[in-house]
A and B are shown apart, each in its own frame.
Chain A
Amino acid sequence: MLTEIFKGLSITLRELFKPPVTIQYPEIKRPVRQRFRGRHELRRYADGLERCIGCALCAAACPADAIYVEPAENTDAERYSPGERYAKTYEINMLRCIFCGYCEDACPTDAIVLTDVYELAADKRRDLIYTKDMLILPPPSGKPGTPQQVAEGSYPRSILPEGLVSEP
């Protein structure tokens, strides 16, 4: 009887001096796996234009119906993305999202990607509806944001050559 107790305690004692497997979150953060799927972001091209063309294929692919896209038409005086169409409204309801990454797969321009950010808590449901302003990356340094005023006819296609190259 007593031997059992000592046996048990000896394990406790041994473990006490081993390095812990838990970490002191949030002071310390564990690196995530390379293919971790977290909060989304909407990317831009090198010239600052948005990649998203408002096609809503991400929304169609989303099994949780978490994405709402409302498109509008670009003009050369007010250009958001190459080609004719851009997303005027783009929202993801993070409460619904199951981080499956289907949206990323569906996107023809690699505009929507899932990052490794997982700290998404908020205390109001409303704050968990991420709008386009929250999702879109800032323009590359030195480049203007959107809308841009561009020379007439300079972006006839919806995807820039840069977008046709798939990246790692």
Chain B
Amino acid sequence: MADLINLFIDDVAVSVPKGTLIVDAAKRADIDIPVFCYHPKLKPVGMCRMCLVQVGRVKLDRGTGQPVLDANGSPEIAYGPKLETSCTTPVEPGMRVITNTDLVKRAQKDVLEFLLTSHPLDCPICDKGGECPLQNLTLTYGPGVTRFDYADKQHLDKHYPLGELIFLDKERCIQCARCIRFQDEIADDHVLGFYERGRKMQIETMSTPGFDSKFSGNTTDICPVGALTTRDFRFRARPWEITNVPSICPHCPVGCNISLGTRRSAKGGGEWEILRVMPRQNEAVNEIWICDKGRFGHHYARSQARLQKPLIKKEGRLVEATWEEAFSLIADRFRAANGKAAGWLGDRVSNEDAWLFGKLFREGFNSAQLVNRPHVAGLDLVARYGVGVGTNLGNLGQGDVVFIVAGDVEETAPVHMLRLKAAVERGAKLIVANARETKMDRYAAISIQYQPGMDTQTVYSLLASVSNQQSAISSQVAKFAPSDNKIKAAGQLIAEAQNLIVMLGDERPYPVMVQGQYTDAGRALAQACANLVVATGHIGKANNGLLPLWPHNNTQGVYDMLSAQGAEALSGEVKALYLVGTDPIGEGQNLPPTDFVVVQELFLTPTAQQADVVLPALAWAERDGTFTNAERRVQRYYKALPPTGQAKADWEIFRLIAEKFGLKWSFFSAEGVMHEIAAQVAAYAGLDYVCLAETKEEWPPVGTSSDLYFGGTAYDNRGGVGAQTKSLFEINGRSELKWIEPPPPSGQSIEPRRLNRPGTLIDQSAIYEVRLRAAELVKIEA
């Protein structure tokens, strides 16, 4: 905390770091200065004049440059002739700011009166009504009456779709440009702009299709009025009628903290429904942002197509059955399989589910043939050398380096992209290596484009240029010494890096199953990345290590749970196969030959159609549990909706099956399962549902229940910020370099993961369909 500046705001002494704006300094002292255009996540623009204050500065003697002292010997303060915008003025030593004089109050009243000359009297029908900064500030600071003629109000289009998801009410807009600035500064999709001028000024989309950004929904949150609404929530309910339940986004490995706004609705047949998804502030994970998939991809939880009851195949057809019938049949067949049972576990289920699945196989089915799907190489390496405890992309800056290889951050972990872009602006350096161009190249200090399939070789070239120290693999690495200056420069950056995060992408060959065994495809790159962080010593510390771009929300957690229970790949004959939350047949793959297939799912997927028994599981919003994100932060989500049909939580199904094997497990809640995980998995030691629910004060305090200035909409985090687990290296200090000869390009055609690719879950969001259709699918070679 070097360079603290002392000043007085309304006679309260405040000390803040140099460069702080007056408005933020006041906030530190719990003094609210009203703002509209200012947002602590955006650069100040001084457009709305709501934040005017009186500023006095220390008077300096022109000749000596020394403060002029008054009779008492204290510096004289000179107040400016005019009010100043506190959102654009940085603090100065000895400054005196006054926020509550008549002059200031009058200015606030006038600004509000001006704003309201064009603002419609829409509060009763406005979706922001109830959590609207304009309402709040008008009530607190505004004049009681207006001198303007009602008939003179500005009338503009009230139903203007900017894109297929976001609607604009041009009358309500107060031209603060927060939406434009979010798109320009944070999302870096320059798709919004102003059009016309004066009272007619309006927001316009500059892209085709309209509002073409993966982050468009965030503008509806930061808009200080109800000018921007989402198609999902538009006219669905008043904010105070909603029950907000803390949750974790179930889509990608960022693990954004979200709130599910639920309500019993007539539209949903009198059932509880999710009306909107809002970000929940967690400055270490998603700050206050989420992507559009997280915001609009919740509809699967309340889809009509959900499985309601267990199904059993009789005479070639799946017919409804009771749980008891299904459990008995499963118990009989898995008992008969006599250890020749295998389990395929999708990586979207919770940690608790994954743990009990493994336990059921160990203790009940007497088998360890468990695979997590989709199978990606390097899970073990990430568990070992993943980013250290305390990692926060929001802390990266000067001297830190992030190396992204074979991945497209915006498509696979969108919110990481926002945070990395911001890190680059704070001085961090980005090195991007890929076979094709991605959005991250825009921020890269060095972009390396390699020939398809040459990912691993590129990483070793980089490593060769970083160090010439003797190590277990240095002779092999030396063969890849680069001739390319770019790679040399990148090596130089890494050599000088204080902190280094290596983001391991998945645009590499995928392991495929050959005779029951997964191939090692993609492994070489993961090992190369691990070697890079190990050889350079960037492991076991905050903001150092591997950060993978995994396919789903709990890829890491499912791996952690299964590997801790000694899971091994399929090794022999499989007589009975149990699939949970995964659809290999729908993805064009085959099941291993087997006599009996159980599928536990939300929907009747192509794989489920082939099954002998189909068990209906609860969706994430209908139950509680934990997910582990790519940074290995374990985060808790809560039950927001009642169950669909007779569906049960995955972990509960496993417990009931275990009962059929005479196993008396005493788990009656997901919380109970977490206790066992904490006791048996080293990295999860000490975790429980209480500590995962702990929250902390966040800075900036955006739109929490006590603050309605910066955000307006509530980002309150009442569900916990989660806890990061230790990497194995942090636990046992063991690291090693291992050589895997980089394979020559395989020529395998791969389709890089896109955020908006169709899939079993996202297909249920009808409003998102346009995005899914619009997303161009690229194919590359690996």
What 15 new A-B contacts, CB under 8 Å, besides A56-B237, A73-B234? A53-B125, A56-B238, A59-B241, A68-B266, A70-B236, A70-B237, A70-B266, A70-B267, A84-B125, A84-B159, A84-B235, A85-B125, A85-B235, A156-B155, A158-B124
Q: How far is the CA of A57 from the CA of B129 in the complex (A)?
A: 11
Q: Which B residues are in CB contact (< 8 Å) with A84?
A: 125, 158-159, 235
Q: Which B residues are in CB contact (< 8 Å) with A139?
A: none
30 sample A-B contacts, Cβ–Cβ < 8 Å, listed by A number: A53-B125, A55-B124, A55-B125, A56-B237, A56-B238, A57-B124, A59-B241, A60-B240, A70-B236, A70-B237, A70-B265, A70-B267, A71-B125, A71-B237, A73-B234, A73-B235, A83-B125, A84-B125, A84-B158, A84-B159, A84-B235, A85-B235, A88-B267, A89-B266, A89-B267, A108-B124, A156-B155, A156-B158, A158-B122, A158-B125
Q: Which B residues are in CB contact (< 8 Å) with A54?
A: 125, 235
Q: How far is the CA of A98 from the CA of B782 in the complex (A)?
A: 71
Q: Which B residues are in CB contact (< 8 Å) with A57?
A: 124
Q: How far is the CA of A56 from the CA of B240 in the complex (A)?
A: 10
Q: Which A residues are in CB contact (< 8 Å) with B234?
A: 73
| CB neighbors of B among A40-87 (8 A) | 53-57, 59-60, 68, 70-73, 83-85
Q: Which B residues are in CB contact (< 8 Å) with A56?
A: 237-238, 241
**B235 and A72 contact, CB distance less than 8 A:** yes
Tell me, rounded to whole Å, the shortest Cβ–Cβ distance linking A58 to chain B. Answer: 10
Q: How far is the CA of A57 from the CA of B122 in the complex (A)?
A: 13
Tell me, rounded to whole Å, the shortest Cβ–Cβ distance linking A86 to chain B. Answer: 9
Q: How far is the CA of A53 from the CA of B237 in the complex (A)?
A: 12
**B235 and A60 contact, CB distance less than 8 A:** no
Q: How far is the CA of A85 from the CA of B127 in the complex (A)?
A: 10
**A71 and B236 contact, CB distance less than 8 A:** yes
| CB neighbors of A among B225-260 (8 A) | 234-238, 240-241
Q: How far is the CA of A71 from the CA of B239 in the complex (A)?
A: 13
Q: How far is the CA of A131 from the CA of B124 in the complex (A)?
A: 21
Q: Which A residues are in CB contact (< 8 Å) with B238?
A: 55-56, 60
Tell me, rounded to whole Å, the shortest Cβ–Cβ distance linking A96 to chain B. Answer: 15
Tell me, rounded to whole Å, the shortest Cβ–Cβ distance linking A52 to chain B. Answer: 11
Q: Which B residues are in CB contact (< 8 Å) with A68?
A: 266
**A88 and B266 contact, CB distance less than 8 A:** yes
Q: Which B residues are in CB contact (< 8 Å) with A55?
A: 124-125, 238
Q: Which A residues are in CB contact (< 8 Å) with B124?
A: 53, 55, 57, 108, 158
Q: Which A residues are in CB contact (< 8 Å) with B122?
A: 158
Q: How far is the CA of A84 from the CA of B171 in the complex (A)?
A: 13
Tell me, rounded to whole Å, the shortest Cβ–Cβ distance linking B762 to chain A. Answer: 25
Q: How far is the CA of A151 from the CA of B234 in the complex (A)?
A: 23
Q: How far is the CA of A55 from the CA of B126 in the complex (A)?
A: 8
Tell me, rounded to whole Å, the shortest Cβ–Cβ distance linking B286 to chain A. Answer: 30
Considering only CB atoms, which chain A residue lies closest to B156 in the complex?
A156
Q: Which B residues are in CB contact (< 8 Å) with A158?
A: 122, 124-125
Q: Which B residues are in CB contact (< 8 Å) with A73?
A: 234-235
Considering only CB atoms, which chain A residue lies closest to B267 in the complex?
A70
Q: How far is the CA of A60 from the CA of B242 in the complex (A)?
A: 12
Q: Which B residues are in CB contact (< 8 Å) with A72?
A: 235
Q: Which of B155, B158, B235 contacts A71 (CB 8 A)?
A: B235
**A-facing mask of B546-572, CB < 8 A → 1, else 0?**
000000000000000000000000000
Q: How far is the CA of A68 from the CA of B237 in the complex (A)?
A: 10
Q: How far is the CA of A53 from the CA of B129 in the complex (A)?
A: 14
| CB neighbors of A among B97-127 (8 A) | 122, 124-125
Q: How far is the CA of A89 from the CA of B122 in the complex (A)?
A: 20
Q: How far is the CA of A74 from the CA of B48 in the complex (A)?
A: 33
Q: Which B residues are in CB contact (< 8 Å) with A59?
A: 241
Considering only CB atoms, which chain A residue lies closest to B120 in the complex?
A157
**B-facing mask of A97-120, CB < 8 A → 1, else 0?**
000000000001000000000000
Q: Which A residues are in CB contact (< 8 Å) with B265?
A: 70
Q: Which A residues are in CB contact (< 8 Å) with B158?
A: 84, 156
Tell me, rounded to whole Å, the shortest Cβ–Cβ distance linking B237 to chain A. Answer: 7
Q: How far is the CA of A56 from the CA of B267 in the complex (A)?
A: 16
Q: Which A residues are in CB contact (< 8 Å) with B266?
A: 68, 70, 88-89
Considering only CB atoms, which chain A residue lies closest to B171 in the complex?
A156
Considering only CB atoms, which chain A residue lies closest to B240 in the complex?
A60
